[in-house]
Structure 1
């Protein structure tokens, strides 16, 4: 429902999620006096930044397994909540190759040792849960979505420590590991699931020797991509697949992009850089993001994983998600000189401020981690409990849409692929704001009020404006319909 307009007023639709109980609620009446002094927020569609790739989450074996334990009604409802136009309409998604911590067990698609030609390659582990979830999501989505895949590790027999955890890929298996990506692509695409691209390795620094991992230095990954993975995908007819390097915390990105994009040859097969958010519960690292963009301004810069980690979900208590009660891995494990980066935090705030901060610093895609977890924050074979936007109790067939689901929807539903981030002059310093112009010409403005009091602002576009109020502890998406140029 649009607000009433006069000739000099913007026609806007305002959707708000707030601590007070709004959940993408359509707001059309604002409670403030005209005499109030109102800071201005000026939109400048002529000032254009990055083009959006998409927003979404990850298909994991854990999420898919849980969906299969629910009633058909609830399973379908969750898929619609994520992938329909009425729901979040996810446009960019991730999945894992081989097992990860959010699998039911450890497995590889190359189970036979010394199978250098991968004659025994099989994706049978994905057939019961993961592939049905992806295919049903595809059937639910009217607009479609991109899917990229990430390995946590090669099979132990390909590694120098012969273990699932840690170690490096043996150089003698570089050809085999490149073939692995090609065979994976063919296996999935033969089932009607297009693969948009890959990250080369999830968290190449490792994860503290806990669950599946495989280590690369920037030089080792670039050698693999430049001389093995890129040429192999090209030779096998998959040269159009996107290859994203790095895939770990943003604060370490400079040393990686310096190597990845050092020369024309080193950067040839890299299509972009992947990042995670686990370096801090509040810091976006804008300087690092700006640095990465300047190194490769025409390549992707995508947040490929973020979640409320090291935390058992709180069940059906929206208030918890707005309080500074959550702790992350760094609360317990970060070195003393980095503890300041990991204070207690509000999960709702962390998602909202991070996505806005990323969009305002050249990031073009933002992908959440698990779409669905249970009340324990699993299943996870390592007991690495985390929170997902949707939590389920399969034993009682109950579903809980946490406030994090609505945060994701504020972006994914309203900022569509190929939208362009535009200029915003924000004179209300209590608000965090980003804006984008969609391919259909509409403008989506996302406003976050982290404070304890409501805020008023005058939203201005060209000669028209609209006075808007945002509740305390709230996120708004404001849609302005304009004619396509």
Structure 2
């Protein structure tokens, strides 16, 4: 939208996704209002540097893409990774199988193979690796990949099972070698892995699907004495290692262990978190604590999704209504039930990403990029929702509103952007802002309420008044 009528008017572009049908739609021609609130930007105050936004490569997503016609497959990958699409910059994948795999498998299938002479990533070559390679071809700006193990092979664990149990100490060096072997194997495929989380959900997941348990001290020791030194010795000391990788309420004891002193923190580059503790609570105090414990390290949301739900097919309205429930709706303890009310999926994404950005989180990764109409495939039948849903039998694709919500951030807030200060006079508008490396400024505003609103953005001597629809997310770009 051009505003040339006055020298003090800000030049901006505004894109909106809303319950009334806008889908990253460019909007303009705003009328003035007597009740406009004020959003005052302050570029002199800067906070964290953005690492990126994106989603996860899973075997389930990759398998589904291969079941679609080439046109639809290409459409989805371009929607996620092209500059014209969401332009994802930060992604995740799983090492060995996870629940969003077609079966349980390990890259170290031979028992007692201490030196991993039989290590193989053949399970990834049909679906997962081709998906990643095609995404790399499409992405002009490139993206980072974080790899996460759900479990070691059962033969390395004290319970000899895929689910639960702990890594036997006698295999700590073997497990560190496993990470190195994975790096090299993927490198041979032309895929550069940026970093790792040490373990997906070290508390476990209720003994349901692939998992392996650590205490904070056990994970710290594994990284300090095994994984970190092994990667460093073999020329991969530049790879990022993220500790924890589970829900935010448990952050304090983990960062206390990881960052206890210089020796324990040496090989940890940051902390990974998930969002499943609550459908609405961001846990700002925990995020602030984790940042303050080690201010120069990463704090990345590595997984979040609408879980325990079968996706609604081509029903945009459902994603804006408080109809979804999560695992905690049925299974949370009595004292934690209040954290898991029914919620609107769009609200959960928009609230959480804005809340994270306003509390030092520098990266935010969605879970599966693509799922089917059942919310799988998932060998455990742990159905979830993805931003893009497909029906492979009919070769049909549905871009849910969640895709557009992710794009509001990933497309416009680019890596190396810095979150900036702001003052917001309307407590019912959720707002964050960042300055990109090219000095353009991006403001993201979420109006969760069912009434339209107006607000003025002030930047120095310039301002502009903007109208936002009810139940709408807006991204406002102020060029440099």
TM interval, shorter chain, is over 0.9
> In the alignment, what sits opposite 1:173?
171
1:356 aligns with 2:350: no
Alignment of 1:145-294 (within 5 A): 145-294=143-292
- In the alignment, the residues of structure 2 paired with residue 424 and residue 125 of structure 1 have an alpha-carbon distance, to the nearest angstrom, of 48
Given that 1:5 and 1:11 are in contact with CA atoms closer than 8 Å, whether structure 2 keeps it comes out as no
> In the alignment, what sits opposite 2:375?
377
Q: Indicate how the Cα distance of structure 1 residues 118 and 438 shifts in structure 2: closer, same or farther if over 3 A, else same.
A: same
Displacement of 1:319 in angstroms is 0.2
- In the alignment, the residues of structure 2 paired with residue 360 and residue 54 of structure 1 have an alpha-carbon distance, to the nearest angstrom, of 15
Alignment of 1:55-94 (within 5 A): 55-94=53-92
User: Which runs of at least 4 in structure 1 moved beyond 4 Å after TM superposition?
Assistant: none
- In the alignment, the residues of structure 2 paired with residue 85 and residue 442 of structure 1 have an alpha-carbon distance, to the nearest angstrom, of 16
Give the SS at the match of 1:475: strand
For each residue in 1:367-407, what CA deviation from the matched residue of structure 2 results, as whole angstroms up to 9, or x when unmatched? 00000000000000000000000000000000000000000
Given that 1:348 and 1:404 are in contact with CA atoms closer than 8 Å, whether structure 2 keeps it comes out as yes
Give the SS at the match of 2:228: helix
Q: TM-score, normalised by structure 1?
A: 0.98
Give the SS at the match of 1:14: strand
Give the SS at the match of 1:280: coil
Given that 1:391 and 1:402 are in contact with CA atoms closer than 8 Å, whether structure 2 keeps it comes out as yes
Question: Which stretch of structure 1 is more off in the superposition, 425-434 or 240-249?
Answer: 425-434
Give the SS at the match of 1:30: coil
Q: TM-score, normalised by structure 2?
A: 0.99
1:14 aligns with 2:17: no
Unaligned runs of 5+ in 1: none
Q: In the alignment, which of 340, 343, 361 is matched to residue 341 of structure 2?
A: 343
The root-mean-square deviation of aligned C-alpha atoms, in Å, is: 0.7
Give the SS at the match of 1:376: coil
- In the alignment, the residues of structure 1 paired with residue 157 and residue 30 of structure 2 have an alpha-carbon distance, to the nearest angstrom, of 61
- In the alignment, the residues of structure 1 paired with residue 36 and residue 407 of structure 2 have an alpha-carbon distance, to the nearest angstrom, of 28
> In the alignment, what sits opposite 1:316?
314
Give the SS at the match of 2:71: helix
> In the alignment, what sits opposite 1:427?
425
Displacement of 1:24 in angstroms is 0.6
> In the alignment, what sits opposite 1:299?
297
Unaligned runs of 5+ in 2: none
- In the alignment, the residues of structure 1 paired with residue 69 and residue 245 of structure 2 have an alpha-carbon distance, to the nearest angstrom, of 35
For each residue in 1:52-99, what CA deviation from the matched residue of structure 2 results, as whole angstroms up to 9, or x when unmatched? 000000000000000000000000000000000000000000000000
Give the SS at the match of 1:43: strand
Displacement of 1:31 in angstroms is 3.8
Give the SS at the match of 1:448: strand
